[in-house]
Structure 1
């Protein structure tokens, strides 16, 4: 029996780890422990509650105004002292590219524990964008013993870095989580959500917007807002723009000052179940979120990516997403095309999602079982 630790700290990590935790917990070949660093305390807890994940170790690492230097060093120390020194693990699973991932991989390496990297191989090829995530995932790849890549493109990135062993293309667990989550909502809370968002007219075309990344702060975000205003005015009677506004003051202040139209609904940030429900009830999505770029195609929702560079070019290449950055003209033009041209909308909404079919967690487990020599 293998003892494994799933280690994560943010909401996106929790979402993508949840189906893996559930899958491995159901197999008697594994003893499963869950450790959280709580980089995102409240948002993390929402996901844990929704997916009913029990936590064995909670480091609760976050402090106000913490620097990256303080966070990284503190994580390495607490992961080692509070988790790895207390139990012997065969594998530590980390997911993605957060500071928790890098610190967890490095702490495990120092203990000579094998690291399994979920969602390995993503690259923007710019070490400062996204920052510090691009360097986090590069360094984690150098440490990891097994690499589970979401796409062949990700595997090819590792190959170019001379990482050729124990690399598997399995899809992305975010699709597993999405399908699990929608089933849970359908069975328990659909009517509650309809009532909760009764101020939104779902008889109109819903444009869901999420925008919060550091690279969009300042002038880029102002241009995105200007694009939303033009779209709002051009399609006043037929659309509603729904924007769950991030609490970061760099975003919140400008959004509430500029986006003052009756058909723009500024709402509080959405819990994970609310978000996937809202995605499912939208017509198209404008986002700078990596996870949504992966999820939306499984729901048949075209995505306009509000970033100049994305490490998820597979979606753009597959035709499920369009890279528009913060360019007002591009945002307005592509949104207008999707609203007015049914054939254009259909082509994008029916494109095949390159990130998987919801069976990634099972594939990962079977690979681990089949290769017990690792």
Structure 2
């Protein structure tokens, strides 16, 4: 029986790989051998627990204040040793993390076919987002099967001379995961959030962590958030604070003492999904949130100057606003004050998936191995 080895190590990867793992495990003709690196430890484990996934192998590479090069080398070394005992017929890597690139390179160097989930995303700026843009481009060079989430991503790959026969448009598995988890209505571990869920006040969800925003830009975001909290005392602003001390030192001093700014620890995926569903506006610099929030009809203001996910910008549910303090205040204020502007974004079509991306993914993998045919491409 062909062995398929999904390899992942961070929370975003785990979320998007979970529907694929479940679909592979349900396929009686494939042996799914889940391997995790532990690039994110606690957050990774939370997602696996939520979806009932028990990894067969755990490299547990995490170290305090680990560097990108450290993650890369420990992952390649760990996988190379694993391949001496378990030689998969294909590995599956997701997206643009250091784990995914290391997994792709380790497999390629052993002659193992690489399946790249969420292939073809491009910001066209090698240093923004960093290191993700470089990671996904490197992975594209060694992949045998490119699973593009959208036709835009497919077209990016075609322009880079990837053969059309090696590309399948699947939709994004984040929508598969989102639709499953949102039905669970996972309770909040923080009682303050349960209180917010019970009231009828408007809520703005704020997340920020990007490396390129750290420093002055992030301090400006903190000041903007403090100004918004003062201008809208009837609105709650929820900030799940990234554990990186550089992030906390930049943004938290500005909002200290603001009664309607609720700072929490990072939320487990199920809780975070519920918080998105409760939100009225999402202000973020995250990549994945740009896909998740539109799936629940939430306007998204993205604190970046470019995005590798332009589909929702074109659709109108996502808007790039950068990190300028005045611009952040102005754009959030517009959505809170102007019902027409709000409705235009909230009612836009989500171009990222229909909840069946995992099915298309497994069918494409089976075709790669000569075991069947693909399903028709996803089209938004």
For Structure 1 versus Structure 2, the TM-score category normalised by the shorter chain is: over 0.9
> Do 2:61 and 2:75's aligned partners in 1 also have CA atoms closer than 8 Å?
yes
Compute the displacement of 1:199 (Å).
Answer: 4.5
Partner of 1:111: 110
In 2: Cα distance, 1:102 partner to 1:25 partner = 24
Alpha-carbon distance in 1 for matches of 2:196, 2:247: 22
Q: CA contact under 8 A between 1:206 and 1:239: conserved in structure 2?
A: yes
- Equivalent residues in 2 for 1:361-372, closer than 5 Å: 361-370=358-367, 372=369
Query: How much has 1:270 moved relative to structure 2?
Result: 0.8
1:244 to 233, 240, 246: 240
* Alpha-carbon separation, structure 2, partners of 1:65 and 1:230: 33
- Map Cα deviations across residues 5-64 of structure 1 (whole Å, 9 max, x no partner): 010010000000001100111110111100000000111011111111011000001222
Aligned counterparts, 1:1-374, within 5 A: 1-81=1-81, 83-164=82-163, 165-183=165-183, 185-186=184-185, 189-190=186-187, 195=191, 197-200=193-196, 202-236=199-233, 238-260=234-256, 261-370=258-367, 372-373=369-370
Q: RMSD of aligned C-alpha atoms? A: 1.6
Deviates further, 33-42 or 197-206: 197-206
Q: Which runs of 5+ in 2 are unaligned?
A: 372-380
Q: Is the 8 A contact 2:222 2:252 kept in 1?
A: no
**d(CA) in 2 for partners of 1:70 and 1:230?**
40
| 8 Å Cα contact 2:104-2:114 kept in structure 1 | yes
Q: Deviations over 1:284-317 (max 9, x none)?
A: 1000111100000010000000112211111111
State the secondary structure of the residue aligned to 2:33. strand
Give SS of 2:28's match.
Answer: coil
State whether residues 11 and 43 of structure 1, in contact with CA within 8 Å, keep that contact through their aligned partners in structure 2.
yes
Could you tell me how far 1:334 is from its partner in structure 2? 1.6
In 2, Cα distance between equivalents of 1:45 and 1:214? 24
In structure 2, how many angstroms separate the alpha carbons of the residues matched to 1:341 and 1:248? 35
The offset of 1:129, in angstroms, is: 1.5
Distance, in Å, in 2 between the alignment partners of 1:70 and 1:232 is 40
DSSP 3-state at the match of 2:32: strand
Distance in structure 2 (CA, Å) of the matches to 1:267 and 1:65: 22
CA contact (8 A) 1:207 1:285 kept: yes
CA distance in 2 between counterparts of 1:221 and 1:67 reads: 21
Partners of 2:368 and 2:110 in 1: CA distance: 22
Cα offset for 1:193?
Answer: 5.9
TM-score (ref. length: structure 1):
0.94
Per-residue deviation at 1:203?
1.3
- In the TM superposition, residue 370 of structure 1 has moved relative to its aligned partner by 4.5
The superposition leaves residues 177-210 of structure 1 with CA deviations (integer Å, 9 ceiling, x where unpaired) of: 1111112x23xx44x6695624436411100000
Conserved? CA contact 2:6–2:34, under 8 Å: yes
* Paired positions, count: 368
Q: Is the CA contact 2:39–2:71 (under 8 Å) kept in the aligned structure 1?
A: no
Q: Distance in 2 between matches of 1:371 and 1:92?
A: 12
TM-score w.r.t. the length of structure 2 is: 0.93
Distance 1:357 1:154 in 2: 16
Contact 1:200 1:265 in 2 (8 A): no
